[in-house]
Chains A and B, each alone.
Chain A
Amino acid sequence: MKIITKAYGELEVSNDAIYSFPNGILGFNDLKKWALIEVADSPFYNLQSLEDETIAFFLINPLSFRKDYEPKAAESDLKSLKMVGLDQKHIEIFVIVNVPNGDAFAMTANLQGPLLFNTKDKIAGQSISSDNRWHVRHVIADEVAQVSSC
């Protein structure tokens, strides 16, 4: 289907890319339909609202810079996303990145509010991690530097 994206203008996406967010995303609770678009030649994904073309996020797999990442999501979130007992291969976890002024070294990831995707039933949602190691602004460059210096 054809959609309008904030980052790329008009774009053709497959139906597989469309996710329903029953509870929206915190602060954007009314937006229930989103497209998850893989960004070519890059570690990023684009999450575009289908109901408001001006609202989009860039996402990244947190394991790409924090091998020890676990979302520690609330049981009730897993239930509402039909993830209880779901095969791990149908679960994808992404976090929202914030890139101030396009500066890669200032780029942060929100590990405290992970997005959980049920790729089988095409439903997703934002959870709040109960793990106090995770906060809303992890500087990705610092996380990568720590791994390299180990």
Chain B
Amino acid sequence: MLILSRRKDDKIIIDDVIEISIIEIKGDQIKIGINAPDNVKIYRHEVFEAIKKENADAAASTMLPSDNGDLLINKLKK
């Protein structure tokens, strides 16, 4: 992993087109600004991981509701 030290208002350029700025540093929180072309997808890491985990859980439990849910299921029209 490449590790760089940066101060407030410093920037990093990735692949000529992605610009990352250190906007604000306050205690243990850092505000980061990102300028990138719109084909670059940017997500908080935890969101990405949550969806990956949820997919894995759903794949592991592949089954349909048993009969207990008929009333509920009937309300869900295609």
Q: Mark A2-41, 1 if CB is under 8 A from B, else 0.
A: 0000110000000000000000011110000000000100
Complexed CA–CA distance, A10 and B66 (Å)? 22
The SS class assigned to the B binding surface is helix
B14 at the interface (CB under 8 A from A): no
The SS class assigned to the A binding surface is mixed
Q: Which of B47, B62, B69 contacts A104 (CB 8 A)?
A: B69
Chain A residue numbers with a CB within 8 Å of B76 are: 43, 60, 64-65, 140, 144
Chain B residue numbers with a CB within 8 Å of A116 are: none
Complexed CA–CA distance, A60 and B73 (Å)? 11
Chain B residue numbers with a CB within 8 Å of A96 are: 54-55, 58
B4 at the interface (CB under 8 A from A): no
Q: Which chain A residue has the least Cβ–Cβ distance from B52?
A: A27
Q: Mark B22-55, 1 if CB is under 8 A from A, else 0.
A: 0000000000000000111101000110111111
Count, chain A residues at interface, CB 8 A: 46
A76 touching B47, Cβ below 8 Å: no
| Interface residue tally on B, bucketed by range | 20 to 34
B61 at the interface (CB under 8 A from A): yes
Q: Which chain A residue has the least Cβ–Cβ distance from B68?
A: A104
B64 at the interface (CB under 8 A from A): yes
B3 at the interface (CB under 8 A from A): no
Q: Which of A6, A103, A126, A128 contacts B65 (CB 8 A)?
A: A103
A140 touching B41, Cβ below 8 Å: no
3 cross-chain pairs, A with B, having the tightest CB-CB distances, nearest first: A104-B69, A104-B65, A43-B76
Residues on A facing B (Cβ under 8 Å)? 6-7, 25-28, 39, 42-44, 55-58, 60-61, 64-65, 74-77, 79, 96-105, 107, 110, 112-113, 126, 128, 135-137, 140-141, 144, 148
Residues on B facing A (Cβ under 8 Å)? 38-41, 43, 47-48, 50-59, 61-66, 68-70, 72-73, 75-78
Excluding A7-B62, A64-B78, 18 further A-B contacts by CB distance (< 8 Å) are: A26-B52, A27-B55, A42-B73, A43-B76, A43-B77, A57-B62, A58-B62, A64-B77, A65-B75, A103-B69, A104-B68, A107-B65, A113-B55, A126-B55, A136-B50, A136-B51, A141-B72, A144-B76
